[in-house]
């Protein structure tokens, strides 16, 4: 019996283009989405996207560049990848409404994804960076505020940690807006540099639409088997 593709974006943070291709081919039958990030895109350019798309043609392509600059520059960068035609493209929500709107206008056929607060940051980090006042420091509050503003500017998806996803769904009830959660780790997996995390099943229960999972799959001895196991747990649960 086959496995239904799970709502997982596998992060193809591979050391070379050949590995991008191998991972995409191995995990493609079990997941909905493949994520090409900075490492692969800066090294290989659109070849990384083309390789993933060719190896797993039924998967959506999530280009995770986290653009963050003045609106005109972000619009120009978005236009520069128009021919790459990613299904999703990330920008930083902290870039502001005008920047997000510029990306949306430049890439009308791509869902613009606004990244709220990186999952590697804690409340204490936000205070140290001056993004929150100590008495009221909360990654959750900041993420919700950024999400609401980003959606109002036209973002079609939000990236947030599993800890904030329920509050963001309450603040952004439209099911047309996808909630994407990194910081997802199977029970017992090494957290590495992630701080605000949950298991895949927990993240979905809290309201996530798409889970970003990288090292627990691609770092496994058999990425295909790891992807299949997580997908089966989610789709059979």
Per-residue model confidence as pLDDT tens digits over 156-171: 999 998 889 999 999 9
Estimate the share of the chain in helix, then strand, then coil, as percent rounded to the nearest 5.
Answer: 45, 20, 35
Per-residue model confidence as pLDDT tens digits over 199-219: 888 889 999 999 999 999 999
Record the tokens describing residue 157, joined without a space.
Answer: 């998806």
Cα(55)–Cα(92) distance, rounded to whole angstroms?
29
Model-wide pTM > 0.75: yes
Residue 111 has phi, psi (to 5 degrees) of -75, 120
pLDDT band at 1 (very low <50, low <70, confident <90, very high): very low
Mean pLDDT of 96-104: 98
Record the tokens describing residue 20, joined without a space.
Answer: 């991008």
Per-residue model confidence as pLDDT tens digits over 46-90: 999 999 999 999 999 999 999 999 999 999 999 999 999 999 999
Known catalytic residues? 66
């Amino acid at each position: 019996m086959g496995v239904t593709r799970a709502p997982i974006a596998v992060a193809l943070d591979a050391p070379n283009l050949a590995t991008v291709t191998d991972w995409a081919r191995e995990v493609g039958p079990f997941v909905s989405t493949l994520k090409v990030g900075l490492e692969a895109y800066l090294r290989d350019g659109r070849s990384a996207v083309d390789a993933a798309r060719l190896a797993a043609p039924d998967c959506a392509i999530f280009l995770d560049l986290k653009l963050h600059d003045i609106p005109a520059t972000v619009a120009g960068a978005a236009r520069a990848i128009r021919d790459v035609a990613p299904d999703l493209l990330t920008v930083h929500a902290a870039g502001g409404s005008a920047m997000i709107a510029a990306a949306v206008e430049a890439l009308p056929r791509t869902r613009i994804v606004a990244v709220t607060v990186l999952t590697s940051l804690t409340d204490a980090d936000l205070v140290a960076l001056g993004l929150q006042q100590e008495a009221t420091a909360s990654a959750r509050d900041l993420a919700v505020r950024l999400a609401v503003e980003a959606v109002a500017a036209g973002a079609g998806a939000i990236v947030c940690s599993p800890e904030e996803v329920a509050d963001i769904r309450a603040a952004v009830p439209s099911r047309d807006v996808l909630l994407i959660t990194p910081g997802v780790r199977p029970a017992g997996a090494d957290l590495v540099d992630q701080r605000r995390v949950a298991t895949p099943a927990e993240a979905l229960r809290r309201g996530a639409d798409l889970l970003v999972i990288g090292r627990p799959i691609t770092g496994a001895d058999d990425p295909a088997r790891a992807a299949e196991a997580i997908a089966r747990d989610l789709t059979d649960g």
